[in-house]
Amino acid sequence: MNDVAAQLRNETSDRIAQNLTHLVATPFQAFESYEAARRQNRIDLNNGRDIEKFLWRQLPAFGNLSLTAFVTSNQEFFGAERQDGAIVIRTSEVENNRALTTYRTNSTGDRLEVINAGKPNFDPRKRPYYRIPVQQRQATWGKVFPHITGKTMYIAPGQPIYNQAGDLEGVWMASLNLSTIGDFLRSLKIGTTGQSFILERSGEMIATSTGEKPFRYYADKVVQLPEQRVERLNAIDSKNSTTQKTSQFLLEKFQDFHQIQTFEQLEFSIKGERQFVQVAPFRDGKGIDWLVIVTVPESDFMAQINANTQTTILLSLLALGISLGIGILTTHWITQPILQLNQASSAMAAGTLSPAVTESSVYELQELTQSFNRMAQQLQESFKTLEQANEQLENRVEERTAELKATKEEVEMALRELQRTQTQLIQSEKMSSLGQLVAGVAHEINNPVNFIYGNLGHADQYTQELLKLVQAYQTHYPEPPPAIVQQSKAMDLDFMVNDLSKLIESMKEGARRIREIVLALRTFSRLDEAEVKSINIHDGIDSTLIILGNRLKPKPNHPGIEILRNYGSLPLVECYPGPLNQVFMNILSNAIDAIELAIEQGKQITPAISIHTGLIDESRAQIRIGDNGSGIPEAIKQRIFDPFFTTKPVGSGTGMGLAISYQIVTDRHQGTLSCRSQSGEGTEFVIQIPLKQKLRH
């Protein structure tokens, strides 16, 4: 029962953590999208109408968000919010005395009538989603705050935006409705009557699976604003008995919710009934520090266990009685013939094969007795034959042993050669597959991208000429017919003219990036340089870093990895470009894996990979690639170049990467590959190869 309860709590906590991880990452994904549009000049932060229309268009792409907005440093607010199945615009501007006003919109995001107008001088800069990120000067979460209607609670992060002079322009914000988390918790089935809830370290509720709201609303409270009628609900004040008792138990055990820093599985009783409790901290590295609590009562498991136990006892007693009765009746019937067989077997074991056993009246034992007598007779004949065969076997064993000793060394040499050949075949097949893949990608992508990139300039020129024609028409015909005026408003001509050139520039940038990636793939695989060539080593390293670029970028739970290039002055080096680039790929990939593992284990580091190149002497070049991960333990450092040796989980690595790299450097390039590492101090791989290759035949 304890194992089942633990498994149920673990699975529930894991599902909650996975959902929360996805949910709290959504606002920061929205911030990345907004900033990308700003860098491409697709949005003007000095134009409030441009901001609100942009956010109105972006909100459907982020289904978990309830409200997104931009708060300027001069107290203005421009946002889009989901309301009654539609998306409305909510603003506070200088023109309307900074009153928070809600507008219904048409199908293109333009304002229609006013739905609600609040009191003047609304100051969003006092909200936690503005104050806290500005104080910390980075994207981070604010505190939970009530919606202006007072009917629900929101939590939102903010990302401050600064101009080139370092002055604050405003703050992006994106809100989550706490009811979204509560709806997910209610969808989970935890045993029969189990439940879950989420707390802040202060003990205040975030959400619960019982349907209870994480706040109290006082409708009769005399206040100026609706949100002032809302008060956060503390878990120990919950109306749900299980939630209240569980929170009290945790406070009594740990004195403070801040003391719970690790995964805990506990037990306590409510009115004499045992409760299984699991507490798991949840953090996202950007300001969220919650506790996920799962409670399952013992009664969910015991009812069926008790019923099965009673049934098992009754059936066991009945089976025991029947077995005893049958056993007593049959024992006497079969004991005597078996005793005779036992005596004859003892005599046979002592070497006497002559006595015969009297046949029994039981059919099965009669057959057994006849077989026993035949076996005794055959054994007498077999012993004589065995004596002769034993002498012949001893002679053959001596001859065979001599032959095996003579061939032992040949087999061992063949095995070592087979392992070496296997490694070379795997590398050859791998590089051949990579070459075919890159050739197909480069050919299929490069031609259409060049076509697109080459024509974008003409498209931009034609567009500008057409726009000049439209402007000339507007100049000479300032009052066009009503049908043209109506069509111009419907298609939002001014916005289209302003946004068209930005879109073309964005398309040019995308095509240029694709051309760079295709070039990096060709440089990495060196498809046209299968034999020894004189190349720039730095080009191969840089192309490998471009291919690995996605793994170097920051992630929700990991900071970005910095590349420290310390390139020396190297001449062109004679080498096999494709295989050597594969060595760089294997070592850099392992460095990234080591840094990610160190961060997951809680090591406080600034992730970085250093690359040093230079000359050892006039005939040899050296490349050093180091990371600041957890390092390699001394016990396994001597085995890292062995084929199929890996410390990664099953399915995450083959153990061939470093073995193949070692073979490429030492055999194909007559160089050396070594490793310098200490546990907890990081790792550095050192490659040394000659500047000129001596071709072997």
Residue 390 CB coordination number (10 Å): 9
Rounded Cα–Cα distance for residues 376 and 360 (Å): 18
Strand partners, 91: 78, 101
Ranges 9-13, 246-250, 495-499: which has the least confidence: 495-499
pLDDT value for 366: 64
Residue 454 has pLDDT above 50, yes or no: yes
Contacts of 531 (CB under 8 A, 6+ apart): 576
- Please state, in angstroms and as integers, the Cα–Cα distance from residue 283 to each residue in 178, 256, 690, following that order: 17, 18, 50
pLDDT value for 519: 63
Rounded Cα–Cα distance for residues 145 and 151 (Å): 11
- Please state, in angstroms and as integers, the Cα–Cα distance from residue 255 to each residue in 43, 204, 206, following that order: 51, 15, 20
pLDDT value for 530: 53
pLDDT value for 154: 93
Residue 42 has pLDDT above 80, yes or no: yes
pLDDT value for 87: 95
Rounded Cα–Cα distance for residues 331 and 325 (Å): 10
Find the helix or strand (DSSP H, E) in which 390 lies. helix 363-476
pLDDT value for 450: 72
Query: Which amino acid does the sequence have at 530?
Result: A
Residue 677 has pLDDT above 90, yes or no: no
Ranges 215-219, 249-253, 524-528, 624-628: which has the least confidence: 524-528
Residue 90 has pLDDT above 80, yes or no: yes
- Mean pLDDT, to the nearest integer, of 619-629? 93
pLDDT top residue among 525 and 469? 469
User: Residue ranges of the alpha helices (H) in 477-492?
Assistant: 482-490
pLDDT value for 141: 96
Instruction: Report residue 308 CA to chain centroid gap.
Output: 42
- DSSP-based three-state secondary structure for 656: coil
pLDDT value for 437: 61
Residue 264 CB coordination number (10 Å): 16
Rounded Cα–Cα distance for residues 553 and 658 (Å): 24
- Mean pLDDT, to the nearest integer, of 465-483? 81
Q: What is the mean pLDDT of the chain?
A: 83
pLDDT value for 222: 61
Residue 528 has pLDDT above 50, yes or no: no
* Tens digit of each residue's pLDDT (9 = 90 or more) over 576-587: 888 888 899 889
pLDDT top residue among 389 and 523? 389
Query: Which amino acid does the sequence have at 43?
Result: I
β-pairing verdict for 608-617 and 562-566? parallel
Tell me which range, 192-196, 360-364, 389-393, 608-612, is most confidently predicted by mean pLDDT. Answer: 608-612
* Tens digit of each residue's pLDDT (9 = 90 or more) over 181-237: 999 898 888 767 889 999 999 999 999 999 899 988 776 666 667 777 788 899 999
β-pairing verdict for 140-141 and 86-92? unpaired
* Tens digit of each residue's pLDDT (9 = 90 or more) over 251-292: 999 999 999 999 998 999 988 888 899 999 999 999 999 999
* Confidence bin at 697 (pLDDT 50/70/90): very low
Percent pLDDT > 70 in the chain is: 82
Ranges 36-45, 73-82, 160-169, 442-451: which has the least confidence: 442-451
